[in-house]
């Protein structure tokens, strides 16, 4: 048994949450959460990390591990990894179970981090029974505060005590301590909707990690949850990045997925990053904007080890892209996708459905440009779309329970669109109002009965094509 001064960092097992019609970010691919590696770097005291998701632990097994280490403080995150802080699941049932496991095992103070804690700390404390929430970024100030003996901080929220969200400048982020992770866990290289045969074509990568070369974005897309933590675009020094990548290589990792909002932004910085990657045997994937990709950039990415690209072409018309703050030429985006496909083995892209009733009426959308309806755009805290939905339904602050209910409705509405015979707007509005007003148990049961609508084979086929049609 270790010292009571120890700090334990925990990722819950998201499989404990069986909420119906979940977003893709409730049970995503298993990846080592890089925020825990950042925290580890800054902790000047004994600490341990448990990935209950990666190890597929039961609540009882988690409690047993907590009891063994007997920590004084337990830190629990509300999102699977930093990648999902900008698109988090709407439920925290798994977090509540993790707090309960901690209570069974020891008398440690429980502190919650993550997007839910940052935007709705009172709700998180009430829902989980935890002792405190840390609001905002966790890379520097948070571990310093933890190591100092849990003194008061303006970023800590306890019952009845408000706090402000912490924002860290990306250039000041430390090199994440990747050795905190057990890479014997199934950290499969992060790629969405990729078959085994596609992975074999890409390369033989076995172990994946997450990283970021920059943070923030210079665009202001209405649906993007980036304020305030990831609001301003800034780059991390290449020397710091190399320290992380060299660690990963030594630990046996052979693939990194970069979670930057826009990895391929800025030629000089990108060239520096790609030069450094070329010196290592790592392969990588990234999120980026396709309209920035030329044949030269695609070739540079491939030469540096890129085997997977996830590109954003979120709306199908240039005029709508401008109206929504994305400011993307759709023709240039299509060209960039084709350049990428010519050089990189696996290319995926993101499309969003903004033609649901409320979005159409409030954002003035008449044509989203898609031949086959993609999955819906969800309202997240820190995003104008989230503010719009909360205001439309008279919520003074972000309401996670209502957001979950609303996400269920969006799934149902998109299923109606895909049927080819959706009701007219008046009937649709009446159906929407009825569903949103249902008692919780009835709404839950109806959503559960429609769980299969998120697994749409036709959508999987249609989404191989930019507009959603094979022709």
Q: Spell out where 21-77 has E strands.
A: 47-51, 73-77
Given a cut of 50, whether residue 298 has pLDDT beyond it is: yes
Q: Where are the domains of the chain?
A: 7-171, 188-350, 385-471
Q: What is the pLDDT of residue 333?
A: 96
Cβ atoms of 353 and 411 within 8 Å: the answer is no
The rounded distance, in Å, linking the Cα atoms of 105 and 99 is: 10
Q: Is the dihedral of CA 211, 213, 215, 221 positive or negative?
A: negative
Q: What is the pLDDT of residue 1?
A: 46
pLDDT, mean of residues 5-24? 94
Of the pLDDT bands very low, low, confident and very high (cuts 50, 70, 90), residue 451 is confident
The rounded distance, in Å, linking the Cα atoms of 80 and 98 is: 13
Q: What is the pLDDT of residue 194?
A: 81
Q: Which residues, at least 6 apart from 378, have a Cβ–Cβ distance to it below 8 Å? A: 23, 87, 90, 385, 403, 407, 410
pLDDT, mean of residues 320-327? 96
* Terminal alpha carbon distance of the chain: 64
Higher pLDDT, 420 or 38: 38
Give the whole-number percent of the chain exceeding pLDDT 70.
96
Of the pLDDT bands very low, low, confident and very high (cuts 50, 70, 90), residue 455 is low
Q: What is the pLDDT of residue 367?
A: 92
SS3 content of the chain, % helix, strand, coil (to 5): 40, 15, 45
Given a cut of 50, whether residue 239 has pLDDT beyond it is: yes
Give the tens place of pLDDT for each residue, 161-183: 678 999 999 999 999 999 999 99
Calculate the average pLDDT of the chain. 93
Give the whole-number percent of the chain exceeding pLDDT 90.
85
pLDDT, mean of residues 300-310? 96
Given a cut of 80, whether residue 466 has pLDDT beyond it is: no
Q: Of 146, 138, 130, whose CA–CA distance to 165 is shortest?
A: 138
Q: What is the pLDDT of residue 452?
A: 78
* β-sheet bridge partners, residue 286: 258, 309
pLDDT, mean of residues 441-467? 82
Given a cut of 60, whether residue 214 has pLDDT beyond it is: yes
Q: What is the pLDDT of residue 151?
A: 67
Of the pLDDT bands very low, low, confident and very high (cuts 50, 70, 90), residue 4 is low
Secondary structure class of 446 (helix, strand, coil): helix
| Helices and strands (H and E) in the chain: how many | 18, 13
Q: What is the pLDDT of residue 137?
A: 97
The rounded distance, in Å, linking the Cα atoms of 336 and 341 is: 9
Of the pLDDT bands very low, low, confident and very high (cuts 50, 70, 90), residue 2 is very low
Given a cut of 60, whether residue 471 has pLDDT beyond it is: no
Given a cut of 80, whether residue 222 has pLDDT beyond it is: yes
Higher pLDDT, 349 or 255: 255
User: Which CATH homologous superfamily contains domain 188-350?
Assistant: Aldolase class I (3.20.20.70)
Higher pLDDT, 159 or 296: 296
Range 7-171: architecture per CATH: 3-Layer(aba) Sandwich (3.40)
Give me 233's structure tokens.
């675009």
Of the pLDDT bands very low, low, confident and very high (cuts 50, 70, 90), residue 328 is very high
Q: What is the pLDDT of residue 67?
A: 96
Other CB atoms closer than 10 Å to residue 348's CB: what's the count?
Answer: 18
Distance of CA 362 to CAs 326, 385, 389, Å?
Answer: 17, 10, 9
Of the pLDDT bands very low, low, confident and very high (cuts 50, 70, 90), residue 203 is low
Could you tell me the pTM of the whole model?
A: 0.96
Q: What is the pLDDT of residue 44?
A: 87
Q: Of 467, 150, 167, whose CA–CA distance to 330 is shortest?
A: 467
Of the pLDDT bands very low, low, confident and very high (cuts 50, 70, 90), residue 200 is confident
Given a cut of 90, whether residue 301 has pLDDT beyond it is: yes
pLDDT, mean of residues 180-197? 90
**Which range among 50-54, 150-154, 366-370, 438-442 shows the weakest confidence by mean pLDDT?**
150-154
Q: Of 45, 42, 51, 44, whose CA–CA distance to 9 is shortest?
A: 51
pLDDT, mean of residues 65-90? 96
Q: What is the pLDDT of residue 458?
A: 77
């Amino acid at each position: 048994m270790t010292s009571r001064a120890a700090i334990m960092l925990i990722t819950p097992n998201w499989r404990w949450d069986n909420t119906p019609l979940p977003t893709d970010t409730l049970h995503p691919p298993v990846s080592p959460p890089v925020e825990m590696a950042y925290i580890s770097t800054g902790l000047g005291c004994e600490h341990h990390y448990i990935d209950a998701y990666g190890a597929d632990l039961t609540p009882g097994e988690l409690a047993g591990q907590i009891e063994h280490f007997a920590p004084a403080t337990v830190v629990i995150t509300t999102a699977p990894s930093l990648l999902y802080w900008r698109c988090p699941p709407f439920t925290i049932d798994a977090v509540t179970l993790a707090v309960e496991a901690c209570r069974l095992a020891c008398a440690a103070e429980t502190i919650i981090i993550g997007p839910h804690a940052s935007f709705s700390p009172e709700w998180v404390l009430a829902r989980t029974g935890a002792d405190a929430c840390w609001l905002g970024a966790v890379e520097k100030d948070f571990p310093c505060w933890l190591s100092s003996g849990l003194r008061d901080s303006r970023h800590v929220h306890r019952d009845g005590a408000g706090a402000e969200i912490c924002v860290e400048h990306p250039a000041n982020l430390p090199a994440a301590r990747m050795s905190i992770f057990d890479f014997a866990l199934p950290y499969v290289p992060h790629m969405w909707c990729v078959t085994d045969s596609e992975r074999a074509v890409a390369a033989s990568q076995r172990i994946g990690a997450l990283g970021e070369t920059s943070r923030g974005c210079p665009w202001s897309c209405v649906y993007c949850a980036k304020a305030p933590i990831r609001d301003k675009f800034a780059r991390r020094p290449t020397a710091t990045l190399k320290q992380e990548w060299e660690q990963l290589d030594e630990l046996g990792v052979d693939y990194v997925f970069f979670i930057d909002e826009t990895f391929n932004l800025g030629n000089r910085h990108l060239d520096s990053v790609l030069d450094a990657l070329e010196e290592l045997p790592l392969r990588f994937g990234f999120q980026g904007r396709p309209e920035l990709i030329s044949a030269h950039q695609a070739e540079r990415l491939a030469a540096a080890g890129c085997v997977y690209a996830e590109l954003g072409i979120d709306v199908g018309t240039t005029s709508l892209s401008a109206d929504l703050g994305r400011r993307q030429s759709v023709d240039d985006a299509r060209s960039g996708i084709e350049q990428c496909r010519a050089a990189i083995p696996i290319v995926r892209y993101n499309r969003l459905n903004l033609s649901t009733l409320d979005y159409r009426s409030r954002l003035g959308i008449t044509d989203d440009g898609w031949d086959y309806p993609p999955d819906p755009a969800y309202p997240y805290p820190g995003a104008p779309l989230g503010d719009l939905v909360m205001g439309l339904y008279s919520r003074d602050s972000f309401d996670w329970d209502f957001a979950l209910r609303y996400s269920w409705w969006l799934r149902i509405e998109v299923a109606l669109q895909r049927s080819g015979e959706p009701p007219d707007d008046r009937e649709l509005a009446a159906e929407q109002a009825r569903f949103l007003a249902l008692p919780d148990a009835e709404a839950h049961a109806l959503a559960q009965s429609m769980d299969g609508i998120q697994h749409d084979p036709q959508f999987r086929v249609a989404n191989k094509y930019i507009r959603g049609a094979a022709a």
